Structure 1
Amino acid sequence: MNTVGNILWIILGGGIFIFLEYLIGGLLLCLTIIGIPFGLQAFRLAGLSLTPFGRQLLHDGSQTGCLATSMNILWIVVGGVWIALTHLLFAVLMALTIIGIPFARQHMKLAAFAFTPFGYQIR
């Protein structure tokens, strides 16, 4: 069922657009030395946004603290708000139809992760 959900997500749920957004953003962030940790997070988000069904986000207790908080604040300031708003827009559009409700739920999960990606583990 997860495979079918992921295929429909890529075709109908806007997964390919979100994947390309993260991929291009990650490549641009990796152009600078300072942006490499953020680019790597964008690549993790790209992988999750391509196949979100059957995967969970777990709060990683070992990656909390001052560094994760600082990175999350910097991520929010630089672009996390815009990416989360993209997910929110897709979620609203998907929730207008009955078939799109599972896709809207995945977009809301991804919006929370896109807003503060540091300190989470993808399973």
Structure 2
Amino acid sequence: MRTLLNVVWLVLAGIWLAIGYVLAGVVCCLLVVTIPFGIASFRIAAYALWPFGRTVVRDPDAGVPSTIGNVVWFVVAGVWLAAGHVLTAIPLFVSIIGIPLGVANLKLIPVSLLPLGARIVDVDDPEAFYRR
């Protein structure tokens, strides 16, 4: 079922979200200071391509630099990305088939708001929460 949902997601929303995150990551990597944001954008792009069967967990060892980076990201890009995910999820909720896709879109909001210090892991591998 996950594979089917991921394929439908990829066609309807995932490819466009991933392209947007990749473009943002490229721009961030061009500027040396924002390379951590670019790397986070690439991780979110991979998650946006295939979200079903994966989840986001917070890294307890992230520290102060990631918190400061998340505050900057939240102000500059996070609020706008979250608003975009909400606006994209609304039309997906209109049909019965789109409801899981809308939920997946809302599932992307926490990592789009605070990407630094987060890890994306498989839900089937509980040990992945503790591995690096």
Is the TM value for this pair above 0.5?
A: yes
Question: TM-score scaled by structure 2?
Answer: 0.87
* Letter paired with 2:85: H
2:27 is matched with 28
Q: Deviations over 1:81-115 (max 9, x none)?
A: 11111111111111111111101111111012101
RMSD of equivalent CA atoms: 1.0
Q: Of residues 115, 118, 122 in structure 2, which corresponds to 1:117?
A: 115
Q: What's the secondary structure of 1:39's corresponding residue? A: helix
User: 1:15-54 alignment to 2 at 5 Å?
Assistant: 15-54=14-53
Q: Deviations over 1:54-93 (max 9, x none)?
A: 1011122111x32121010111122111111111111111
- Structure 1 residue 39 displacement after superposition: 0.3
Q: Percent same amino acid at aligned positions?
A: 39
1:6 is matched with 6
Q: What's the secondary structure of 1:122's corresponding residue? A: strand
Gaps of 5+ in 1: none
Q: Distance in 2 between matches of 1:105 and 1:85?
A: 14
Q: Of residues 61, 67, 70 in structure 2, which corresponds to 1:69?
A: 67
Number of positions where the alignment pairs a residue of Structure 1 with one of Structure 2: 121
Question: TM-score scaled by structure 1?
Answer: 0.93
